[in-house]
Amino acid sequence: MTPVLRPARSTETGSLGAILYDSLNTAEGTAGLYSLAETIAFCGVMIDRRWVTVAEQDGRVVGFMALDGDEICSLYIAADAQGQGIGQQLLAVARQQVSRLTVRAVQANIGAQRFYLRHGFTELGRGNGHDNEENLPNITYVWQREGRAA
């Protein structure tokens, strides 16, 4: 079933926070970084800023993307909904809005690296973790619409 993509509602902070929390605790290198309460609060901030698009299937939020200008701040899919193209559909929404996207992935998160490379992103640079809240080495990726200089 194709998900419905729509702006997040303030009542969905718990659903988004749970997806983020579960994703962080199963991804390489990020387990135990934040409590469930912290991820819910973070999702609430992103929703309040109107950054978040959710993917809903059968009345349930199964994924979300937060876009601040041309930066993807978050892109997470519930474990039982992965592999269905939902992340790609959320990226398509972002690509309709801007001609260039940037995103940072933790270097230890090989799954995220594969996802972004598979969807046309290229590595822009690497950081040692001193410039992010998690203090974890990361990789910055960029996607540029064809016909535009990076």
If you average pLDDT over residues 57-81, what whole number do you get? 97
With 60 as the cut, is the pLDDT of residue 62 above it?
yes
- Does the residue 24 lie in any domain? yes
Could you give the CA distance from residue 114 to residue 119 in angstroms, rounded to a whole number?
9
With 70 as the cut, is the pLDDT of residue 148 above it?
no
| Domain membership of residue 77 as a residue range | 4-144
The 8-class DSSP code of residue 129 comes to: S
The region of weakest confidence among 1-5, 91-95, 134-138 is 134-138
Please give the tally of structural domains in the chain. 1
If you average pLDDT over residues 82-89, what whole number do you get? 96
- What is the model's pLDDT at position 149? 54
- Does the residue 124 lie in any domain? yes
- Does the residue 149 lie in any domain? no
Residues 6+ apart with CB under 8 A from 28: 106, 108, 109, 110, 111
pLDDT in tens, 5-31: 999 999 999 999 999 999 999 887 788
User: Strands, DSSP E only, in the chain?
Assistant: 4-7, 52-57, 60-68, 71-77, 100-106, 122-127, 138-144
- Does the residue 150 lie in any domain? no
| pLDDT bracket for residue 60 (50, 70, 90) | very high
Residue 101, domain CATH: 3.40.630.30
